[in-house]
Amino acid sequence: MGKTIAEKIFDAHLVDNPSGDIQVVRLDAVFCHEITTPIAITDLVARGKDRVFDATKIKAVIDHVTPAKDSKTALQGKILRDWARRHNIVDFFDIGRNGVCHAIFPEKGFVRPGYTIIMGDSHTCTHGAFGAFAAGVGTTDLEVGILKGVCAFKKPLSMKVNISGTLARGVYAKDVILALISKIGVNGATNRVMEFSGNVVDAMTMDQRMTLCNMAVEAGATSGICAPDKVTVDYLWPFIEDEYPTKEAALDAFNVFTPDADAAYTDVIEFDVTPLVPQVTFGFKPDQVKPVSDMEGEPIHQVYIGSCTNGRFEDLEIAADIIKGKQIDPGVRAIVSPATPDIYSRALSAGIIKIFMDAGFCVTNPTCGACLGMSNGVLAEGEACAATTNRNFNGRMGKGGMVHLMSPATAAASALTGTISNSPLFQPGGDNQ
Amino acid sequence: MKNFNGRVLFLDRSDINTDEIIPAKYLTESTKIALKPNLLEDLVLEGFDPQKDIEGKSVVITRDNFGCGSSREHAPWAFEVNGINMVIATGFARIFRQNMFNCGMMAVELDATAVDELFAEFAGEETAIETDIDKGIFTISAGEISRQISFSISEYDLSLVKAGGWVEFADQNY
């Protein structure tokens, strides 16, 4: 019997099988941020175990609330900063160099095909875009990861999601994943890895694959994962060119982690995206999804473009293309948060930041910010936000607020009208191929 | 080992998420005990008032996919500091379930029919539960009615509950 990507990665990292279907795996990287790590650090100190398994494999960033908004968040940053310094964690990204964890760590080349990665953050599944097994964990698992470089998982089961057809113009990876979550439900992939494949995935850029994998957890998945290919190698090349003589050699090495044709999956989902139209959520669960056209005219109070789902360069580029030379509706306020300093800087050079500012957007520093209602754009009761984020739970962006999840194109178009609107790039009923 | 006996809080909905259990704005706390007043604060559920209904409860019985969403261990901690060490549900989100056992708490799955019967028979009544962890039996009672239900958790999960969590276990073994 052949193996899935996750099974191959587990086989290569297996440390122990303490009982039944539990597998303890060696970790290639442990990612940390200031919200879930400080309590792990404090606990390690209290236990007299203030150690790290390998300072070069730990990467840390202050991203959720940055710069600190109050004394409590300042303390969280300080605990992480002091810890990184005393353990010589070189890859620590502090204010000025920091960005949203799931955007900055891949951008720095920290994610490789075949890696095992944990982080105290549910959207860690994003890094599966590189053919890594990357899973969100709680603080205790993180603490053990920091101390021992291992984590326990159930033997991974995988669901294959074959995405075929042709995406219409104005329809993006975000629309694909929203439609998919709607299809299988918020519990549809629980305790399974979603292995994405098909010609549509093959044609996606790394930014798009990260959007796809990012929301796997919204269907309950342990990780999203895409097989490594030429696109992966091209993205990683600046970081690996000293390790492999040619790109072909790198691809050969990474091909160890492509799935076997006869691998066993719990489910196989065939998803032809040719008829897919832009999608938007309407309730408090990420599987409550409708075509944007069914929600057009619904009033919004805020637009938020950013987050680990859709705050990358391509996302800003698409949104800027729609708002260029126009003004946001006077009834809304709009916020854009480039996900990393590098994305911000590139957007600045490309004139994208000016387009946002001229249109009336507030441009913030890179941070998770409003996505989870901690800072930089919290909603008031009764307000609605058109957001490129990943989670629309009740109260997520502020108590009594409503979050409508959508693509950057739909969010940009909605900023111009002050209501949920299809982007001009998408022509309903037209030839969008 | 923690206490798994006591009065039951019924939460009759599937997909109760981590943000409903403890909103993100409280994730700036650096101690577990600070989470105590805010457990289930954003859960909107008919007949449920977090101010009145949590006090004195030790066990939650709920539906499917409990704890979906964030990885925040603040969710189990918010239960723990309120004296609730066990959740019984039709199903759990992976990270929440693992976090419970990692803290030496219990997340026990029962099939949907068994959970339906518990809601039909006991919800709305003053209900208490006693847990025999070695035999895998819950004794659930309200007034004159008493029922026994068997449950199972894996040997590994049981070892975490008995060890008091995953940190000690891992430090001894790896």
pLDDT at site B168? 80
Interface with A, mutate which of B25, B70, B158 (most A CBs under 10 A): B70
Considering only the beta carbons, identify the residue of B65, B103, B170 that sits closest to A144: B170
Task: Tell me the C-alpha distance between B73 and B79, whole Å.
Answer: 10
pLDDT at site A377? 97
Residues A70 and A157 in one domain: yes
pLDDT at site A429? 62
Q: How many domains does chain B have?
A: 1
Residues A40 and A73 in one domain: yes
Q: Which residue of B has its CA nearest to A286?
A: B69
Helices (H) and strands (E) in chain B — how many of each? 7, 7
A431 pLDDT exceeds 80? no
Provide the domain limits for residue A409.
Answer: 280-417
Considering only the beta carbons, identify the residue of B23, B93, B171 that sits closest to A147: B171
> In chain A, which among 61-90 make CB contacts under 8 A with chain B?
64-65, 70, 72-73, 75-76, 79
Residues A136 and A203 in one domain: yes
Interface with B, mutate which of A27, A73, A144 (most B CBs under 10 A): A144
| Per-residue confidence band for A269, with pLDDT thresholds at 50, 70 and 90 | very high
Q: Which of B90, B102, B87 is nearest to A152 (CA)?
A: B102
Beta carbons of B24 and A43 less than 8 Å apart? no
DSSP string for residues in A49-76: ----S-GGGEEEE--SS-S--SHHHHHH
Residues A254 and A376 in one domain: no
Residue A326 CA, distance from chain mean position: 29
Q: What confidence tens digit (pLDDT) does each residue in A101-153 have? A: 999 999 999 999 999 999 999 999 999 999 999 999 999 999 999 999 999 99
Beta carbons of A187 and B27 less than 8 Å apart? no
- How close does chain B come to A236, measured CA to CA in Å? 28
Which distant-in-sequence residues (6+ apart) come within 8 Å of B102 by Cβ? Answer: A138, A140, A141, B73, B160, B165, B166, B167
Residues A226 and A338 in one domain: no
Residues A231 and A325 in one domain: no
* Torsion A323-A328-A332-A333 (CA) sign: positive
Decide if B87 is inside a domain.
Answer: yes
> In chain A, which among 209-228 make CB contacts under 8 A with chain B?
220, 222
* A372 in contact with B, Cβ within 8 Å: yes
Q: Give the residue carrying structure tokens 């289930």.
A: B40
Measured between alpha carbons, how far is residue B35 from residues A314, A372, A393, B21, B80 in Å?
39, 17, 19, 10, 10
Provide the domain limits for residue B12.
Answer: 6-173
Q: What confidence tens digit (pLDDT) does each residue in A96-112 have? A: 999 999 999 999 999 99
Of A239, A271, A303, the one marking the end of a domain is A271
Considering only the beta carbons, identify the residue of A20, A22, A190 that sits closest to B93: A190
Q: With beta carbons less than 8 A apart as the criterion, state whether A359 and A323 touch.
A: yes
CATH at residue B52 = 3.20.19.10
Q: What confidence tens digit (pLDDT) does each residue in A346-359 have? A: 999 999 999 999 99
pLDDT at site A430? 55
Residues A11 and A126 in one domain: yes
For Cα atoms B119, B84, B121, give the angle at the middle one, nearest 5 degrees: 15
Q: What is the pLDDT along chain B (174 residues), one digit of tens a residue?
A: 999 999 999 999 999 999 999 999 999 998 899 999 999 999 999 999 999 999 999 999 999 999 999 999 999 999 999 999 999 999 999 999 999 999 999 999 999 999 999 999 999 999 999 999 999 999 999 999 999 999 999 999 999 999 888 988 888 888
- Contacting residues of B for A18, CB less than 8 Å apart: 156, 159, 173
pLDDT at site A433? 47
Q: Which of A62, A147, A140, A48 is nearest to B32 (CA)?
A: A140
Considering only the beta carbons, identify the residue of A19, A47, A374 that sits closest to B155: A19
pLDDT at site B164? 84
Q: Which of A352, A397, A353 is nearest to A379 (CA)?
A: A397
* A404 in contact with B, Cβ within 8 Å: no
Residues A245 and A299 in one domain: no
Decide if B142 is inside a domain.
Answer: yes
Decide if B114 is inside a domain.
Answer: yes
Beta carbons of A147 and B76 less than 8 Å apart? no
Interface with B, mutate which of A19, A34, A54, A140 (most B CBs under 10 A): A140
CATH at residue A389 = 3.30.499.10
- Contacting residues of B for A120, CB less than 8 Å apart: 71, 73
* A159 in contact with B, Cβ within 8 Å: no
Task: Tell me the C-alpha distance between A368 and A377, whole Å.
Answer: 11
- Contacting residues of B for A35, CB less than 8 Å apart: 27-28, 72
Decide if B1 is inside a domain.
Answer: no
Number of Cβ pairs < 8 A linking chain A and chain B: 143
* A59 in contact with B, Cβ within 8 Å: no
Q: What does the pLDDT average to over A204-220?
A: 98
ipTM, two decimals, is: 0.93
pLDDT at site A1? 86
Beta carbons of A190 and B91 less than 8 Å apart? yes
Decide if A66 is inside a domain.
Answer: yes
Q: Is B11 exposed, middle or buried (0-12, 13-18, 19+ CB in 10 A)?
A: buried
Q: Give the residue carrying structure tokens 């709305």.
A: B124
Beta carbons of B69 and A141 less than 8 Å apart? no
Residues A239 and A379 in one domain: no
What's the mean pLDDT when you consider all of chain A? 97
A153 Ramachandran zone, left/alpha/beta (phi>0; psi -120 to 50): beta
* Helix, coil or strand: residue A378: coil
Interface with B, mutate which of A75, A102, A125, A141 (most B CBs under 10 A): A141
Residues A252 and A203 in one domain: yes
Structure tokens, A103: 């955007």
For Cα atoms A281, A285, A291, give the angle at the middle one, nearest 5 degrees: 20
Residues A229 and A285 in one domain: no
Interface with A, mutate which of B38, B90, B167, B171 (most A CBs under 10 A): B167
Considering only the beta carbons, identify the residue of B64, B170, B171 that sits closest to A187: B64
Decide if A104 is inside a domain.
Answer: yes
Of A271, A289, A317, the one marking the end of a domain is A271
Considering only the beta carbons, identify the residue of A18, A65, A138 that sits closest to B99: A138
Q: How many domains does chain A have?
A: 2
- The residues pairing with A272 across neighbouring beta strands, listed in sequence order, are A164
- Contacting residues of B for A191, CB less than 8 Å apart: 94
